[in-house]
Structures are given as C-alpha cells and as structure tokens.
Amino acid sequence: MAIRSIILGCGSYLPARVMTNDDLTKIVETSDEWISERTGIKSRHIAADGETTSDLAYHAAVAALDHAGVTVDELDLIVLATATPDNTFPATATKVQARLGMKRGAAFDLQAVCSGFIYALSVADNFIKARQARTVLVIGAETFSRILDWTDRTTCVLFGDGAGAVVLRAQEGQGTAADQGILSTHLHSDGSHHDLLYVDGGPSSTQTVGHVRMRGQEVFKHAVVNLADVVREALATNDMQPSDIDWLVPHQANRRIIEGTGRKLKLDPSRVVMTVDHHGNTSAASIPLALVEAVHDGRIKRGDVLLLEAMGGGFTWGGALVRY
Ligand code: UT7
C-alpha cells in the first residue's frame, strides 16, 4: 500500500486583455513572422492595471475547487509557485488563503521560476505522502508582464500572464505504476547557470524589482538536454516506455523545444498539449494552464498517463508522471 496524491480537479484564469504579435510591433522592432517562427507564440494575456498575481491565483483556485467539488474548509495547505509575487512578503499564497476564507492549515509560496509548478506539485505530493496534509491546493500564478523590459525585444515578446491550479487529495494506492495519482516527481537545479536567465533586481541586492534578462540561445541548448534527461528519469523510475505516455503536458516556453521533446518520445504531435501559441510563456502558470485546457476540452481523460516537465531560471528543471 502507498499513499498517492490524486488530482481531483483543476482550474485556471487568464486576464481579459490579449496582446497579439502585431500589437508588439508597435512597441519594439519585431514582427509576427519572427515571433511565430522562433517561438510559436501568436498572442498572450496581459494583466490589467492593478490586477495582481494573487487576483489571478484566486480565480484559478476558485475554478479548481469548483471542478474538484472540494470546499475551502477541506483544504490543509496551499502551495503557490510564483516568481512575481504581489509583495516581497508576505507570501502571495497567504493573500489567496485569506480571500478564499480558509481559516486553518498553512499557505506558502515557492520560487523555482518556470519549473515552479513541478516543484510545487512535488512539495505538495510529499506533504501528502508524509501524512502532513490530506487535501492540497497547488497554484502556479504569474504576472511576468510586470518584470519585463518592454524595450528589450529579445525577452518582452516571450512572456504572458495567467494562473492555473490543481486540487490534490490523498488516496490509498498499491504503490505501483498502475495507481491513480502522482506516480513520481523529479527535481533538479544547477545554480552555476544563474546569469543565463535571471532578474537584475531584488530586495537584498538592488532594492528594486528588476527586469528579466536571458541569453535565449544558451537557455535553449540547456533546456533540450535537461528536459530529455528528466523525461528519461521519470520513465525509468516507473518502468515505463515512451509509448505508455498518453499526453505530454510541457512547460510552454517555445514550440520548437516542446516539439523536440515530443519527437524524442516518438509521441504523435496530437498527444502533445500546446498552448504556447495563445498563452506565451507564463512561467509557473504554464503547465496548469495547459493541463486545464486539455482536461476541460475532453482530451485528457481519467486514467490517462501524463508527463509534465519544465525548465527555468536557476537553472531549475523537473518532471512529474501522473495517472490522471
Ligand atoms: O521558460 C524558461 C526557459 N526559457 C526558454 O526555454 C527559452 C529558450 N530560448 C528560446 O526560446 C530562443 O532562444 C528564443 C526564442 C528566446 C530566441 O530564438 P533564437 O532562435 O535563439 O534567436 P536568437 O536569440 O539567436 O536571435 C536571432 C536574431 C538576432 O539577430 P542577429 O544577431 O542574428 O542579427 C536577434 O537580435 O533575432 C534577433 N531577435 C529578434 N528579431 C525580431 C531577437 N529577438 C527578436 C525579436 N524580433 N523579438
């Protein structure tokens, strides 16, 4: 017997405003052709003035609780992954906790940038396995538009805002890969690559928020290698073959990276959930946003095996195998 974390339900929220590639051509020297060809992005959502990460997270949380059929009183824990918190402190998770009316349990933020959702899922899964929590809300929420340098065309065209959430619940399983729920999670980091993808500000260094800086080509090369490694690791841990995967639900940074991972797994492209075209890179929110889209349109069904993977600043990267 083993305790498994079941995804009871999921929900997401996107700000109303849509910014297209053509809109961006009015801000920086770029083109729809360049952005589409290099990244696969056509449009992204941008938070309204005054709309914060906790607002997006709250709406995603309400949708996830509703989909899961779980009330706030049942929640033991909120883990919120974000690199764009409302404030330096307290945690954005506690703002969401208060707005939900959750009077017990704990709530905290977790920072692993684009790998944030995988990290948060892993932490929540381990709380459940350690019997420290039974029902956990895991959120990925970002307002990356607030930390972009809107004069830097190499970064500002890539990102968007949004939030996604899942509700996890403890359930007894057999401890085999046939179980429902999170089968395994795999986290990695390598801090020596800090300067390839970072924000050039922070409370302790500059006392400013700073802007995203990225050496895109270098990040791209590392992403391809690290993601292939973590995919292999996840499959080997569960004694599974690529053919056992029903859906690849990857971090949405670049269509070329996603397609490359899908090809390595010999997955039919129709089995790869792709939202980068209309979400852009929403960092910690991108995997749950993609998951919600494919669950709610009926592609992902109960019993399907999902491979989630992400790579981001730090570097951090990770993966999770889940039987939905
Ligand atoms: O989510 C965290 C993980 N992040 C990632 O995984 C991102 C990984 N990196 C990438 O996705 C890609 O490297 C980018 C999409 C960021 C860039 O694509 P690239 O094919 O690596 O382009 P590049 O950086 O090599 O730039 C090629 C050219 C340059 O011009 P020159 O030097 O060749 O004359 C850039 O100045 O494209 C130019 N360029 C642009 N042109 C039009 C850069 N940005 C733009 C732009 N519009 N927005």
Is the Cβ atom of 148 under 6 angstroms away from ligand 1?
A: no
Q: Is 30 in the pocket of ligand 1 (CB under 6 A)?
A: yes
Q: Which of 229, 223, 276, 226 is nearest to 249 (CA)?
A: 276
Which one of 38, 114, 315, 317 would you pick to mutate in the ligand 1 pocket, going by the greatest count of ligand atoms within 8 A of its CB? 38
Residues noted as catalytic: 114, 251, 281
Question: Which residue out of 220, 222, 259 has the highest number of ligand 1 atoms within 8 Å of its CB and is therefore the one to mutate?
Answer: 220
Ligand 1 mutation target, pool 119, 215, 217, 317, most atoms within 8 A of CB: 217
Q: Compute the distance from residue 143 Cα to the ligand 1 centre, in Å.
A: 21
**CA 1 / ligand 1 centre spacing (Å):** 49
User: Which atom belonging to ligand 1 lies closest to the Cα atom of 223?
Assistant: 6
Angle at 177 between CA 249 and CA 289, to 5 degrees: 20
Name the CATH superfamily housing domain 2-173.
Answer: Thiolase/Chalcone synthase (3.40.47.10)
DSSP symbols for 140-204: EEEEGGGG--TT-HHHHTTB-EEEEEEEEEEEEE-SSTTSSEEEEEEEEE-GGGGGGEEES--TT
Angle at which helices 255-264 and 32-39 cross, to 10°: 20
Buried b (16+ CB within 10 A) or exposed e, 107-139: bbbbbbbbbbbbbbbbbbbebbeeeebbbbbbb
Residue nearest to atom 35 of ligand 1 (CA): 154
Q: Is the pTM of this model over 0.85?
A: yes
Q: Which pLDDT tens digits describe the chain residue by residue (324 residues)?
A: 899 999 999 999 999 999 999 999 999 999 999 999 999 999 999 999 999 999 999 999 999 999 999 999 999 999 999 999 999 999 999 999 999 999 999 999 999 999 999 999 999 999 999 999 999 999 999 999 999 999 999 999 999 999 999 999 999 999 999 999 999 999 999 999 999 999 999 999 999 999 999 999 999 999 999 999 999 999 999 999 999 999 999 999 999 999 999 999 999 999 999 999 999 999 999 999 999 999 999 999 999 999 999 999 999 999 999 999
CB count within 10 Å of CB 198 equals 18
Where are the CATH 3.40.47.10 domain residues in the chain?
2-173, 181-323
Ligand 1 within 6 A of 115 CB?
no
Instruction: Give the CATH number of domain 181-323.
Output: 3.40.47.10
